[in-house]
A and B are shown apart, each in its own frame.
Chain A
Amino acid sequence: MEPLSALGVGIVYSPSLEPLIEGEGDLINVLEIEPQHYWIKQSGHSPSYHLDDRAFERILHWPQKKIVHGVGIPVGGSLGLDDGQMAPFMESVSRLHPEWVSEHLAFLRADSPQGPYHTGFLLPPLQSLETVRMAVQNIRQFKSNLSVPFAFENAPNYLRPMPQELPDGEFLARISDEADCGILLDMHNLWCNERNGRQPVRDVLASLPLDRVWEIHLAGGDDYRGYWLDAHSGLVPEKLIELCFEWFPKLPNLKAIIFEIIADYITAKSIDIETLLRQLQVLQELWKCHGRNAPDTLDDKVNLCPAREHRDLPKPVDWEQALGLLVNKRPPRNDLQVRLSDDPGIGVLQQLVVSVRSGMFVDLLTLSYRFMVLHLGEASVWEIMEAYWNQTFPDPFAAEEARRFAEFIRDRELPVPHLNEVLTYEVASLESLKTGKETVVDFSCHPVTLLEALSVGKLPDQLPLGRYEVVVQP
């Protein structure tokens, strides 16, 4: 394999973070792109996904090198790789020319009698030898499609370790060794796992083939009911930074350090640009120290003894079905699901799924949400949202989820005059943006008056009635 280029420090790209990239170009050497965010899904079409050219053009405008980090084809599931996403993923790779590609060691789909469904959040696989074999097979398949190297990322795991599961570090080591691939080591995920009762970070690191660590993720988190969440919500904890200064000199093949932060938190927590600047400067200091103390040879590889599969561990498919149902608040149906439902970590995962589903609603059907709350009250609207979630599994693509939810709301015939018109307008707006085509929406009231009021979060004082057509232009 050709040696990878050393890229330096970067961030996960988001359009909202462009002011940071623009202002701090010297401190941001590389952009990590999560391509699925910039795809358009068209249900019923073939192919189902196409790349949003506007987004890719904008990403390519930036001079920094790119690396691609998939968020929709995780390699830890028994259903294998999502075939429908491989073609757009490869096209994304060909446009972005990354040095390497990575994906999550997690699963995002589970099977059911009605067929596979999306779980709504990246979920931790069972740490068994059978999962190791499965993940290795998935990674080999992924690699066979790529002309650049592949790395997997360790996921946060809010669940208690199962008796007889492989320890966290050994699980990662076995997969990287047998798949002959790199590791995108998310240090904040390890940090969360230790704080939440799983293997200590130092023990995980001591188990890993450190020469396979090509990339590091660092982020900030938040407390939720006693759990430390990988929330991507702020600065990297100081003690984690200290740990990184201790261990990064031992990483001979580290090529990038990526800071993860969700842009909404920068606003919500009033994190100023100076603070972000200082964070990036610290990461640049970390970058400078990497590999200094790495052994000259690879003789210090971790020795993996042959392991024996424990018969009491569930099968990966049963694990996935259990987690998939429980995190979507379906009642447990068998012994494994009952046992897992006792784990408080399930509640954390349920809340993560809810946060994403509710976030999609208010982000893409903003005016409809406000209209409903102003008429019906928060509690009633939350009940409607829960009813929708109880009837459907998530669609990971925001526009599709919004469209389906809009249909659900319309079918309920709520006592909110003109709600259907606002819903139709918002869905039409999404469609128009996806397709580039004009759509027409009928209104039986003055649309500007209504939409303007909702845009500032209030009901209109007076609403003239009439026959209107709103032409939604892309």
Chain B
Amino acid sequence: MENINELQSMKASGTSSIVRVSVAPSVYFKLDAIQKVQKDILGRLGCLACCSGWDIRFDLQRQFIVDEKLNVREIG
């Protein structure tokens, strides 16, 4: 996936066996592979409870889960 390819591995810190990986949070917001929509971080952290529309994000999210054979299937 394009966004995960942007992750960079860094050197293990000192003599410890810990591996450090740098990630930009906007990367994981950038592309939702399942919904194939550009997710823009702007406006998502703010007040979303106050509008009077019908929020369908949950319905959209639950529609698709990829099974082990990479077939997209409805889960409900």
Measuring CB to CB, which residues of chain A are less than 8 angstroms from any residue of chain B? 14-16, 34, 36-41, 52, 54-55, 58, 71-72, 104, 108, 118, 120-122, 155-156, 189, 219, 222, 224, 229-233, 260, 262, 264-265, 267-268, 352, 355-364, 366-367, 369-370, 373-374, 378, 394-399, 401, 425, 428-430, 432-434, 447-448, 451-452, 455-458, 466-474
Minimum distance in angstroms from A368 CB to a CB of chain B: 12
The 4 closest A-B pairs by CB, nearest first: A429-B25, A232-B53, A36-B47, A359-B57
Q: Is B17 in contact with A434, judged by CB distance below 8 angstroms?
A: no
Would you give the 0/1 interface string for B18-43, flagging 1 where the beta carbon is closer than 8 Å to chain A?
11111111101100111101101111
Q: Is B19 in contact with A37, judged by CB distance below 8 angstroms?
A: no
Q: Is B47 in contact with A396, judged by CB distance below 8 angstroms?
A: yes
A451 proximity list for chain B (CB < 8 A): 4, 28
Selected A-B contacts with CB under 8 Å, 16 pairs: A37-B46, A71-B51, A104-B52, A222-B54, A230-B54, A264-B56, A268-B60, A358-B57, A366-B61, A367-B28, A369-B61, A398-B47, A429-B25, A448-B7, A469-B20, A470-B21
Query: A124 to B62, alpha carbons, bound, how many Å?
Result: 30
Q: Is A456 in contact with B34, judged by CB distance below 8 angstroms?
A: yes
Minimum distance in angstroms from A429 CB to a CB of chain B: 3
Q: Is A262 in contact with B53, judged by CB distance below 8 angstroms?
A: yes
Q: At the interface, is chain B mostly helix, strand, loop or mixed?
A: loop
B34 proximity list for chain A (CB < 8 A): 456-457
Measured CB to CB, the nearest residue on chain A to B69 is A458
Minimum distance in angstroms from A434 CB to a CB of chain B: 6
B59 proximity list for chain A (CB < 8 A): 268
A469 proximity list for chain B (CB < 8 A): 13, 18-21
Measured CB to CB, the nearest residue on chain A to B9 is A448
Q: Is A38 in contact with B42, judged by CB distance below 8 angstroms?
A: yes
Query: A118 to B68, alpha carbons, bound, how many Å?
Result: 41
Measured CB to CB, the nearest residue on chain B to A233 is B54
Query: A54 to B39, alpha carbons, bound, how many Å?
Result: 15
Minimum distance in angstroms from A102 CB to a CB of chain B: 13
Query: A364 to B37, alpha carbons, bound, how many Å?
Result: 15
Query: A102 to B42, alpha carbons, bound, how many Å?
Result: 22
Q: Is A398 in contact with B54, judged by CB distance below 8 angstroms?
A: no
Q: Is B42 in contact with A118, judged by CB distance below 8 angstroms?
A: no
Residues A230 and B53 in contact in the complex (CB < 8 Å), given A455-B3, A470-B21:
yes
Q: Is A363 in contact with B49, judged by CB distance below 8 angstroms?
A: no
- Which one, B28, B45, B54, B62, contacts A399 given CB within 8 A? B45
Q: Is A14 in contact with B67, judged by CB distance below 8 angstroms?
A: no
Q: Is A156 in contact with B55, judged by CB distance below 8 angstroms?
A: no
A366 proximity list for chain B (CB < 8 A): 28, 32, 61
Minimum distance in angstroms from A45 CB to a CB of chain B: 14
B14 proximity list for chain A (CB < 8 A): none
Query: A360 to B41, alpha carbons, bound, how many Å?
Result: 13
Residues A58 and B68 in contact in the complex (CB < 8 Å), given A361-B58, A362-B57:
no
Query: A466 to B19, alpha carbons, bound, how many Å?
Result: 8
Residues A37 and B28 in contact in the complex (CB < 8 Å), given A155-B52, A359-B48, A455-B4:
no
- Which one, A38, A155, A455, contacts B46 given CB within 8 A? A38
B52 proximity list for chain A (CB < 8 A): 104, 121-122, 155-156, 189, 230, 232
- Which one, A58, A362, A396, contacts B49 given CB within 8 A? A396
Q: Is B49 in contact with A455, judged by CB distance below 8 angstroms?
A: no
Q: Is A71 in contact with B45, judged by CB distance below 8 angstroms?
A: no
Measured CB to CB, the nearest residue on chain B to A230 is B52
Measured CB to CB, the nearest residue on chain A to B35 is A267
Query: A277 to B32, alpha carbons, bound, how many Å?
Result: 27
B26 proximity list for chain A (CB < 8 A): 433
Q: Is B49 in contact with A121, judged by CB distance below 8 angstroms?
A: yes
Query: A274 to B59, alpha carbons, bound, how many Å?
Result: 26
B56 proximity list for chain A (CB < 8 A): 233, 262, 264-265, 268, 355, 359
A471 proximity list for chain B (CB < 8 A): 10, 20-23
Minimum distance in angstroms from B44 CB to a CB of chain A: 6
